[in-house]
Structure formats: structure tokens, C-alpha cells
Amino acid sequence: MRYIMIFIAALSVAAAGCSQNPAAGPAASTIDQAKLCEVKAWQHDDVASSCKPGQKVVYLPSKWGNEQLPIIFAAVNCDLRYSVSLTNGAVTCIYGPITPTPVEPQKEAAEKPAG
């Protein structure tokens, strides 16, 4: 009986840590569960042109074989504060795009050989 009580207490603590607070971020108030955006490419630009942040997105690639692609898609396109469902060939989640870091041009002096 004591182990059951400990298990229930641990389960309650774990569940509380997994709860998703809708007020946790700016996109949280704009979650749109009614619309589904379907994409076949994992790249940020392709998804951003089709989907809106906060919308459900499903990644269904036309070719399948690289088991890392669903994870890459999730890392680049999913709001990881919410549940992500994935298989070896597909992902569905709440779209929350990364903010790409602009590439800074290299300094001209660094490109020229000394001399």
C-alpha cells in the first residue's frame, strides 16, 4: 500500500511538470486547432510560406527513408512547449518556427591575403 501511495505521489508530480501553460508564451494565445497545414518539405522557408505560427502542422514527406528528417522537422518547425507526435516518416505538432540567425558577411580584410 505504501508503494502505491508513493507511486501516485510521483505520478502527480510528473504530471504537474508536463502540464502546458497556455500563458507561457506569445504564440500560446493564438493556437489554432481547427486548421491543419500539410507540408512535404522540412525546411523553414517552405513551411513558413504555407503555415501560420500556432496552427497545427503535419509533415508528410513524399519520399521516406531518412529517419532523422522527422526529428529535424520538429526541431526547426514545432513549438516544443506542446505535444509532438512523430513516426519514422511523419510529424504533427503546433507550428512554432525557429528564428533563423542572419549570416554575417565576412570582413573583407579577413579574406585578403597579407602581403
Q: What is the pLDDT of residues 70-109, one digit of tens each?
A: 999 999 999 999 999 999 889 999 999 888 777 777 665 5
Pairing of strands 32-39, 55-59: parallel
Mean pLDDT score across all residues of the chain: 75
Mean pLDDT of 51-75: 91
86 contacts: CB under 8 Å, gap ≥ 6? 70, 71, 74, 92
20 vs 59, residue with greater confidence: 59
- pLDDT recorded at residue 108: 55
Model confidence, pTM: 0.63
In the predicted model, what is the mean pLDDT of residues 57-74? 90
- Count Cβ atoms within 10 A of the Cβ of residue 28 and give its class: 0-12 exposed, 13-18 middle, 19 or more buried: middle
Domain boundaries in the chain? Answer: 27-94
